[in-house]
């Protein structure tokens, strides 16, 4: 998917990214979905779009403890 619009306050980057996530559906005895939960990792998307640094680079942004 291409980031071509303003999302989460970030201007379009026109870079490609993907979304990994999980959905859980609660289905009643009649087969009807009665509840749904979903989750995805926003940090992975922001790193793909080069809007935030990856976790392994963050330590360089903070002072070292003495």
Question: Per residue in 5-49, pLDDT tens?
Answer: 887 788 899 998 888 899 999 999 999 999 999 999 888 888 999
Single pTM value for the model = 0.61
In a domain, 37, yes or no: yes
In a domain, 8, yes or no: no
| pLDDT value of residue 62 | 77
Short-list 24, 17, 14, CA closest to 43: 17
Task: Give how many domains the chain has, as a whole number.
Answer: 1
Strand 21-27 versus strand 33-40 pairing type: antiparallel
In a domain, 16, yes or no: no
| Structural domain for 48, as ranges | 21-58
In a domain, 2, yes or no: no
In a domain, 64, yes or no: no
| pLDDT value of residue 27 | 97
For residue 25, list its beta bridge partners: 36
DSSP characters for 15-34?
-B----EEEEEEE-TTS-EE
């Amino acid at each position: 998917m291409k980031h071509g619009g303003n999302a989460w306050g970030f201007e379009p980057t026109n870079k490609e990214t993907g979304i990994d996530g999980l959905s859980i559906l609660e289905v009643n005895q009649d087969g009807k979905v009665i509840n749904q939960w979903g989750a995805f990792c926003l940090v992975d998307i922001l790193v793909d779009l080069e809007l935030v640094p990856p976790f392994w680079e963050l330590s360089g942004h903070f002072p070292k403890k003495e």
